[in-house]
Amino acid sequence: MATLLQDTRAAAQTLGMRLELVPADSPDEIDGALTAVASARVQGLIVMPSPMLYAEYKRIVAFTAGSRLPGMGAAREFAALGGLASYGVNLSDLSRQSAKYVDLILKGAKPSALPVEQPTKFELVINLQVARDLGVTITREFQMLVDEVIE
C-alpha cells in the first residue's frame, strides 16, 4: 500500500495536483473521513484498494453523488454502484487464480512450496451516466480504451 500511495503522490505532482490523504481504518471512521473530504473542498476522490473500504463502496458512492464529486474506486463495483470510474484488479480473475491454489493445496501441495503470484488482469471502468451528471466529457476515443463502459 505504501508503494501505491507513493506512486499516486508522484502522479498527482506530475499533473500539478495536490493530494490530500484522508485515512479511514475502520467502518466507524468513514463518516469522519467523508466529513474531512467535504471540508477540504477537494475536486475528486480516489478510494484506495482495501477490503474494508470495498465493503463501504455504497456509502462512499452516495457521498460522492451527493457532493457532486468525481469518485474513483479500485474495483468495478465502485463504478457500477454510481461512482465515476474504477481501476483495479479484476476480482473474478483474481478469484480464479486463488481457486487454482486452493485446488493444489487440497491435492496435497504445501502452501510454502507454491510460487507467489501477482494479479495479472486489471480493468478500467467508466460510468457514462455519472460523467454526464457531473458535466465530465468522456471522449469516444477514451471510451474505446477502457475495459467497460457503463451506460
Give 58's contacts (C-beta < 8 A, 6+ positions apart): 81
Residues of 50-69 as b/e, b for ≥16 C-beta within 10 angstroms? eeebbebbeebbebbbeeeb
Is the model's pLDDT at 1 over the cut of 80? no
Q: What is the pLDDT of residues 8-38, one digit of tens each?
A: 889 989 999 988 889 899 999 999 999 999 9
Looking at residue 30, its pLDDT comes to 94
Looking at residue 74, its pLDDT comes to 93
Average pLDDT, the chain: 92
First-to-last CA distance in the chain? 32
Q: Where are the alpha helices (DSSP H) in the chain?
A: 2-14, 30-40, 51-54, 57-67, 76-80, 91-106, 128-134, 140-145
CATH of domain 44-150: 3.40.50.2300
Looking at residue 41, its pLDDT comes to 85
Domain boundaries, the chain: 44-150
Q: What is the pLDDT of residues 96-125, one digit of tens each?
A: 889 999 999 999 999 999 999 888 889 999
Is the model's pLDDT at 142 over the cut of 80? yes
